Structure 1
Amino acid sequence: MMLREILKDCEFIGDLRSEDVKKEIVKVTYDSRTVQNDSLFVAVKGEKYDGHDFIQDAIQKGASAVVCEYKYKGCSLSKQDETSYISFIKVKNSRKTLACISNNFFDRPSEKLIVTGITGTNGKTTTTYILKSILDICGKETGLIGTIQYMIKDAVFPALHTTPESLEFQKLLQDMLVAGCTHVISEVSSHALAQYRVDRTSFKTAVFTNLTRDHLDFHKTMEDYFLAKKRLFFELLSRDGTAILNIDDSYGRRLNCELRSFSKEINSKIKILTCGIENSADIMATDIRNSFHGLKFKILFSERKYDVLSSLIGLPNVYNILCAIGAAISLGVPFEYIIKGIEKTKTVRGRFENIDVGQDFLCIVDYAHTEDALQRLILTARESISSTHDPNVSSGLTHVPRIITVFGCGGDRDRGKRPKMGEIATHLSDIVIITSDNPRSEDPLKIIRQIESGAVNKNYLIVPDRKDAIKKSIDMACAGDIVLIAGKGHEDYQEIKGVRYKFSDRQVAKSAIEKKLKQKE
């Protein structure tokens, strides 16, 4: 593809030479290690490394064009050499330009697909899987981009990021298009929005699940966090697209007001569907019954009632289902298929996942790693105990069922939430085991002490080794108890000092339960 086609609609500083625009480019990359002859290298400044420091390396490997923000270090080329065969394109923001370049290089794939973006602090992953199940029931060929994995129809690929860098994102969309997909569902993280990873993507539907404290190590304030999420609806949603908003969430209500004003101001055809349980909305859930067997409730929409059954558990999943219903409605899916798709949705890996090996207690692995998610997890467990354990009816149990919570907090992330999560866990659980999560570059014991500082009861133990902590919780569990292992969910590694060691909460819990059952034989 010629350089002028790759740079179409991209903003850059100065003019390009005639010989530059005619240059044939065979590859676009922001990683100097993957440069080959006739590549376009985009120098992006990251958290750990600055791509500008690798421009010389990229040129030596064959890059014929470079996008950069400023003069790079260590280049030994003379000015004559520099201007003779290397095309330098100066821009204000390399990462933003990368999104434009990537979209062009892969021939604007989102314009030929129906793309749904789902954003929010919690619930993105589960909502994407519910919506995919609904579209599958309809016979739609669907791709999925998210935290756990990427899917192109039935083919599954490991996910490196919730939302990949723009180059990989647009490549995924193109691959989905080539494979015959008509629809794409993508989680859209706040990092992705702040770093322009999904810019130039045409979203037909945008979903807002909720917004609670998280990622303040990156965004610094909740306002900045909200503004990043807001970009999906104000800048990336098609002007004839649909926004699905959870208005039981205060930020959802704010987004609803601001988006309506904005849409009216620019005279767009953006449609808004609100959903909720507590507040009057377009799509509402009522008569909710929750147990460890699943959910049963009614949906009110357009003056009609629909019965919903789901194997998913807990009030947070009612909201996830509502958001998925809104997205499905916006995509023109008949309600009979929506209901069937919800019923067909299985538990998402690492999302309130029951590790069942035949034991007489419950063991739940969940990704909850924020204050709100941890609170909702424990309250869901508490509610489920209440719904299945009537103190007036003999259940054969020798004690009142307890909630045993195992959790830690990730290193190099928002430190402010650590004591708050310690407070929530010790207040709502019967027993808490504070342990390590992904300590990354931090001292695990320092993280644990920060969590401990928020404890409001003395009902906790400190077991720094996560494997030992999980084993301890399983050993402590009696009939009817619920063990909650929170924070890592689907992850199959533990990151310590820059190294990712193989580790799975699910596998450790399963092995510990099996060992306990064998000892009882």
Structure 2
Amino acid sequence: MKLSMLIATLPLPDGAKDVEITSLTADSRAVKPGALFAALKGVSADGWDYVGQAIENGAVAILSRPGLTETRVPVIETENARETYAYLAARLYAGQPETLVAVTGTNGKSSTVEFLRQIWSEAGLNAACFGTLGIATQKGVTPLSHTTPDAAALQMTLRDLKDSGVTYAAMEASSHGLKQYRLDGARLSAVAFTNLTQDHFDYHPNVEDYFMSKARLFKSLAPQGIPAIINVDSEYGQRMAKLAGEAGLKVITTGWNGDDLRIAEVTPRSASQSLLLIHKGVRHTIELPLAGEFQVLNAVSAAGLAMATGVNSDAVFSALSHLKGVNGRMDRAGVTKTGAPVFVDFAHTPDGLEKLLRGVRPHTQGRIVVVFGCGGDRDPGKRPKMGAIAHHYSDIQIVTDDNPRTEDAAKIRKAVMSGCPNAIETGDREAAILAGLDMVQAGDCLVIAGKGHESGQIVGTHIIPFKDADVVRRLLKAQS
């Protein structure tokens, strides 16, 4: 595509109109001949430092904020290069599924989009979802590097889904992705909000910035009149619902306090739950084949999105009774020889850990033993909070390493244990899991939290192969 067609609203340097653009990227290492290189300023790196490398690799034009002095190739200047980059990506890699949904929130995004994909699929629609767990379609799962991909990668993903015949797609919208304009250019059919609790404070300066980054989905990206499905069980949910209404969206509230789809009653079973939901004044009793109240909240958000995107309510409620759990989310990895279930979960925030442990309690007759830790190079303020939550909602705590990254793992564990001083400290994660397996008896439950689906442990700058569920199964086999 000629530069003049790709960039129709910005002034172009002399002689640049007929430059042919074959690709677009913000990664100088991915530049190929004919590429437009977006020299974006990041948190730890500045694209300006890589312009020379990009040109050597074949870049024929540069997109940049004002001030770049490079003159070997045309430079297109714009005050908000990230936003422009996203819209150029949408134009160069045009095409997306007819119905596109975006879900934001601290916890529950992965489960909500996957449950929505399952409901759509059961209704006979060619559906997909993508985010933290990768790209899921009827054919399986393909990995992704980010919860919300880079703008160009996002648009290429959407185009590829459309080309493969997918007509309904749901994606996670992270606060990073929203603040960095990665979703700008996507045409949305519905949006949703799950919750907001402490997370990513290593990136966001405060909770208000975190909230407003997520609010961009409703204020700036969602077209007026489309449905906004919002869980209003929290102050932030109520605030987001008000904000979405002021932005001209069709607000649909869900949760225990929802007006449109309300949870009236939840009765735990051994590995499932009986739900009483009220929709438009009509009571619906559903057997949800998943444990944990947080699974109910995610399933109800997905149900609201499915109905808002055209699926008949009877088909939606029928599909809820057939939902399958999400990889690494309350994932039953095995059962010990004493009959105690072992669950692996991604819970890595105070709210996520609390919901996980509270969700397990109604299904546990004996003790809850939890193995967990906190990541390094991330918000340190949540470490003692997670320790305190583990102390309050479980019977025995084993504090171990999560992804220490470049921090001193012992210092991370010490910070966690300031909230649960009676916990057992075992830095080696496999040894901690083994200790938990040896400890649980009939009626107990072992919960391993923090890493969920992840297949590696980050120590320093290296990734060591390690997947909690695989380790559990190997240790259980050795014990049998």
Give the TM-score band, short-chain normalised: over 0.9
**May I ask how many residue pairs the two structures share in their alignment?**
479
Shift of 1:205: 0.6
Q: How much has 1:240 moved relative to structure 2? A: 2.5
1:395 match: none
**2:387 alignment partner in structure 1:** 422
Equivalent of 2:201, from 197, 200, 216? 216
- Alignment match of 2:52 (pick from 53, 56, 60): 56
Partner amino acid for 2:313? F
Moved more, 42-51 or 22-31: 42-51
Partner of 1:98: 85
1:471 maps to 2:456: no
Q: What is the 5 A alignment of 1:296-375? A: 296-357=274-335, 359=337, 360-375=339-354
Question: Counterpart of 1:433?
Answer: 398
Q: 1:196 aligns with which of 153, 156, 181?
A: 181
Q: What letter is aligned with 2:171? A: S
- The gaps in structure 2 that reach 5 residues or longer are none
SS in 1 for 2:225: strand
Alignment of 1:76-475 (within 5 A): 82=72, 86-107=73-94, 109-110=95-96, 113-263=98-248, 270-277=249-256, 279-357=257-335, 359=337, 360-385=339-364, 389=365, 401-455=366-420, 458=422, 460-475=423-438
SS in 2 for 1:238: coil
1:240 is paired with a residue whose SS is: coil
Letter in 2 for 1:3: L
Counterpart residue number, 1:398 = none
1:10-29 alignment to 2 at 5 Å? 15-17=11-13, 19-29=15-25
Report the 3-state secondary structure (helix = DSSP H, G, I; strand = E; otherwise coil) of the residue aligned with 2:190.
strand
Which region of structure 1 is more displaced relative to structure 2, 25-34 or 185-194?
A: 25-34
Deviation per residue, 1:409-444 (Å, 9 max, x gap): 011111000011111111221110101101111110
TM-score by length of 2: 0.96
Counterpart contact for 2:384–2:416, Cα < 8 Å = yes
Q: SS of the residue aligned with 1:364?
A: strand
Greater shift in the superposed pair: 432-441 or 285-294: 285-294
Q: Which has the larger radius of gyration?
A: 1
The 1:163/1:40 distance shift into structure 2, 3 A limit, reads same
Q: Which piece of structure 1 moves more, 185-194 or 279-288?
A: 279-288
TM-superposed deviation, 1:377: 1.1
CA shift at 1:373, angstroms?
A: 1.0
Matched with 1:30 is: 26
Q: Is the 8 A contact 1:204 1:240 kept in 2?
A: no
1:71 Cα deviation from its structure 2 partner: 4.5
Q: Distance in 2 between matches of 1:151 and 1:493?
A: 20
Q: Could you say if the C-alpha distance between residues 470 and 454 of structure 1 is closer, same or farther in structure 2, counting changes exceeding 3 Å?
A: same
Look up the SS of the partner of 1:20 in the other structure. Answer: coil
Task: Quote the offset at 1:357 in angstroms.
Answer: 4.6
User: What's the offset of the Cα at 1:61?
Assistant: 2.0
Task: Give the secondary-structure state (helix, strand or coil) at the position aligned to 1:212.
Answer: coil
What amino acid is the match of 1:149? G
**Residues in 2 aligned to 1:91 and 1:156: alpha-carbon distance in whole angstroms:** 37
TM superposition shift of 1:46: 2.6
Q: Does 1:6 align with 2:6?
A: yes
Is the contact made by 2:231 and 2:258 (CA closer than 8 Å) also made in structure 1?
A: no
Deviations 1:1-58 (A, max 9, x none): 111222235xx5xx31352122111111212122222211111223333221111111
CA distance in 2, matches of 1:132, 1:422: 34
Give me the TM-score of the superposition, normalised by structure 1: 0.89
Contact 1:247 1:281 in 2 (8 A): no
- Residue 70 (structure 1) shift: 4.8
Cα gap change, 1:298 to 1:423, in 2 (>3 Å): same
Write the letter of the residue equivalent to 2:173: V
Q: CA deviation at 1:276?
A: 1.6
**Which residue number corresponds to residue 42 of structure 1?**
38
Give the Cα separation in 2 of the matches to 1:157 and 1:280: 35
Contact 2:334/2:472 (8 A) holds in 1: no
2:465 & 2:42 partners in 1: Cα distance?
A: 26
Deviation of the 1:135 alpha carbon:
0.4
Cα distance between partner residues in 2 of 1:468 and 1:175: 43
Shift in Å, 1:258: 2.3
User: Where in structure 1 are there 5+ consecutive unaligned residues?
Assistant: 264-269, 390-400
Task: Indicate the larger mover: 15-24 or 209-218.
Answer: 15-24
1:184 deviation in Å?
A: 0.9
Q: Which letter maps to 2:20?
A: E
Q: Secondary structure at the match of 2:334?
A: coil
Question: 2: CA distance between counterparts of 1:496 and 1:358?
Answer: 29
Structure 1 residue 72 displacement after superposition: 5.1
| Aligned equivalents of 1:155, 1:363: Cα separation in 2 | 25
Letter in 1 for 2:309: L
Instruction: Tell me which amino acid in the other structure corresponds to 1:235.
Output: S
Deviation of 1:60 after TM superposition, in Å, equals 1.8
